[in-house]
A = this chain, B = another copy of it.
Amino acid sequence: MTLLLKKETLAPALEFLNSLGHSKLRNPLHNYLRVEVQEGLLKLGAASDEVDGEAALRGEPGGFSFGPVLVPGRLLTEVVSAAPGEEVELSFEEAGVRVTSGRFQSRLAAATPDGFPDLHLLDPENPGAFHTLSLPPEPLREALLQVRYAVSKESYRGVFTGVQLEFREGGFRAVASDGYRLALREVEAPVGVTRKVVLRAPAVDRLVQALRGVEAPLRVGLAEGLVGVVLEAGFGLLRLGLRAMEGEYPDYERVIPKEFIARFRAETAPLKDALRRLLAVADSQNHRVDLLLEEGRLVLEAEGPYGQAREELEVWREGSPISLALDARYLLEALGPAAREVEVGFSGPISPALVRPAEGGGYRAVVVPLKVG
Contacts and interface: CB of A to CB of B under 8 A. Distances in A.
Interface of A: 72, 75, 78-79, 82-84, 96, 103-109, 270, 273-274, 276-277, 280-281, 305-313
Given A84-B277, A306-B72, A311 B79 contact: no
A310 B99 CA distance: 10
Contact of A306 (B109, B273, B276): B109
B313 A281 contact: no
A286 B75 CA distance: 17
Contact of A105 (B75, B108, B309): B309
Given A79-B277, A103-B311, 15 more contacts: A72-B306, A75-B280, A79-B280, A82-B273, A84-B273, A84-B311, A96-B307, A103-B312, A104-B310, A104-B311, A106-B277, A106-B307, A107-B308, A107-B309, A108-B281
Q: How many copies does the complex hold?
A: 2
Contacts of A311: 84, 103-105
Nearest to A111: B306
A280 B107 CA distance: 12
A103 B315 CA distance: 14
B75 A108 contact: no
Contacts of A270: 84
Interface centre among A78, A83, A309, A313 (most CB of B within 10 A): A309
Contacts of A72: 306-307
A310 B106 contact: yes
A310 B108 contact: no
A104 to B, nearest CB: 4
A75 B307 contact: yes
A310 B276 contact: no
Contacts of A78: 277, 280
